[in-house]
Amino acid sequence: MPDFSFVAVVVGLIYLAAFACIYRILLTYRTAQGAIAWIIGLVGLPYLAVPLFVMFGRYRFGGYVKVRRMGDERLTSLLNRFEQQTTSIPKPASERFEDELQVLCKLGRQPFTDGNQCTLLRDGAATFEALFEAMEDARHYILLEFYIIRSDRVGQRIKSILERKLAQGVEVWFLYDDIGSVWLPRTYLDQLSAAGARVASFGNGNIRRRRFQINFRNHRKLLVCDGKVGFVGGINLGDEYLGTFIDQEPWRDTHCRIEGPAVTGLQLAWLEDWNWASDQQPQLDWTSADIPPGKDEVLVLPTGPADDWETCTLFFLNCINNARTRLWIASPYFVPDLQVLNALQLAAMRGVDVRILIPEKSDNRLIRLAAYSYLVQACKAGIQIYRYQPGFMHQKVILVDDRYSAVGTANLDNRSMRLNFEITAVTTASHFLSSVEAMLKEDLDNCRLMTEDDYRQRSILFRLGCRASRLFAPIL
């Protein structure tokens, strides 16, 4: 016979944990709908909802906030000093333009800097060639941070270069996300460590700060060499971007190379993440080049769940609400929340050319289905949704009028806007905008324009599946 007193204690503890979760929800909830859904689950099915809430329920990366604000005075000083630099954006005839860009500076706590040279890297082949060259040219240190790192041909080439540079006395600091890189063999990391690289995983943080925070992921992809040259964009370290698998087209993705003062912004974002993941303190170069390599104005915008605001959401809303003639967005995942969808609808209704490029083929079936559920609402407002046909389009690119563009890691979904650590480079450089425009026009030539009929004429089971998938939007 079971010991009913023991069962009663267990049940009581489960409900106590459920009410503790509800207490936390009431103090910190982001939306009423989400809070109500969690509370119903915790009251009705606490045995299931409590562990799910522990894994997925929190929306702030609390430990990171403490490390950022209090854990390292030197890091805080560097952040404050760079943030307080006078922005390079001149006062144009339209003060609205000035205000719009100043908002981005405040969101990222970083200034626009001039004197940069920003180069668009349109695919995996161009990106890897540039990454390899920059690492080969490094003389002092190499900082890497990627969501996915594979031990395939690209990954082995990276490791080979790093081991060679370590033998030459170049320091290597290697940061990866343990969820994104879950299949990366331990031997790969051990061999790098044995060669002298400092290796850290973002997910756990150091041993004093470990928390079960599986829902938060470091989705950033960046490389910095000697504090002078940096890279940011959507490309991870893997062969899929080269299409080397049999019967597979290469993933369509975009990166950019930055040389100049804006690299300090990339380096600061990397250092914040490294400071969370490890107690080791690298000595980095914080001086800009004596002779600026170019004239481009660039802002580096890090976003994530440790920010005071929903920075990534506000970034998208700022772009959408201030677009006047054109707003082109390429994203592999299109699962916007209501406020972003409403902003897109309003932009289209006021005459802005709103085009959303998403892939026909996806690596996530739920997200692909959920995207269909937005089709009718989007088309009725005049939003044009294009599905890229060849391969899997994975790029994250925004073009706002003829005024500025952005290349980074943030998708048009809830996970990027609220749960992931992301990073984006924004530039006003006309030559870069022209390159982005030409690239997106070429992509559009490889797209199919969707209509309401793509949803309405499908079977009822398909439409139900789309609507059901959309319910999972908060965690997709």
Instruction: State the Cα–Cα distance between residues 24 and 3, nearest whole angstrom.
Output: 32
Count the Cβ atoms, other than its own, within 10 Å of residue 108.
Answer: 24
State how beta strands 171-176 and 198-201 pair: parallel
Alpha helices in 84-152 (DSSP H): 95-108, 124-137
Of the residues 159, 228, 255, 396, only one is catalytic, namely: 396
Task: Say if CB 352 and CB 327 are below 8 A apart.
Answer: yes
d(CA 404, CA 425): 10
Please name the amino acid found at residue 108: G
Which of 114, 401, 413, 443 is catalytic? The answer is: 401
Phi-psi region of 408 (alpha: psi -120 to 50; beta: other; left: phi over 0): beta
CA–CA dist 408, 306 (Å, integer) = 18
3-state secondary structure of 279: coil
Contact status, residue 327 vs residue 399, Cβ threshold 8 Å: yes
User: What would the two tokens of residue 182 be?
Assistant: 């879950």
Residue carrying structure tokens 């054109």: 326
**Residue from 273, 337, 394, 443 carrying the catalytic annotation:** 394
Q: Does the annotation mark 401 as catalytic?
A: yes
Residue 234 tokens, joined: 């959507």
- Chain mean position to CA 251: 17
Distance CA 439, CA 8 (A): 64
174 near 180, Cβ under 8 Å?
Answer: no
Backbone angles phi, psi at 141, to 5 degrees: -155, 160
Contact in structure between 177 and 218 (CB atoms under 8 Å): yes
Does residue 441 have an active-site annotation?
no
Non-local (6+) Cβ contacts of 407 within 8 A are 120, 232, 233, 234, 254, 255, 256, 395, 396, 397, 424, 425, 436
Query: Which are the contacts of 240, defined by CB distance < 8 A and separation ≥ 6?
Result: 124, 248, 250, 251, 392
Residues 6 or more apart whose Cβ sits within 8 Å of residue 342: none
Residues paired with residue 413 on neighbouring β-strands, in sequence order: 335
Q: Which residue among the candidates 219, 239, 255, 296 is catalytic per the annotation? A: 219
The whole-angstrom distance between residue 289's C-alpha and the CA centroid of its chain comes to 28
Active-site residue among 221, 255, 273, 307? 221
- 159 labelled catalytic: no
Q: Which of 72, 226, 413, 443 is catalytic?
A: 226
Q: How far apart are CA 127 and CA 146, in angstroms?
A: 14
273 catalytic residue (yes or no): no
Instruction: Establish whether 221 is a catalytic residue.
Output: yes
Give catalytic status of residue 140 as yes or no. Answer: no
Q: Catalytic residue numbers? A: 219, 221, 226, 394, 396, 401
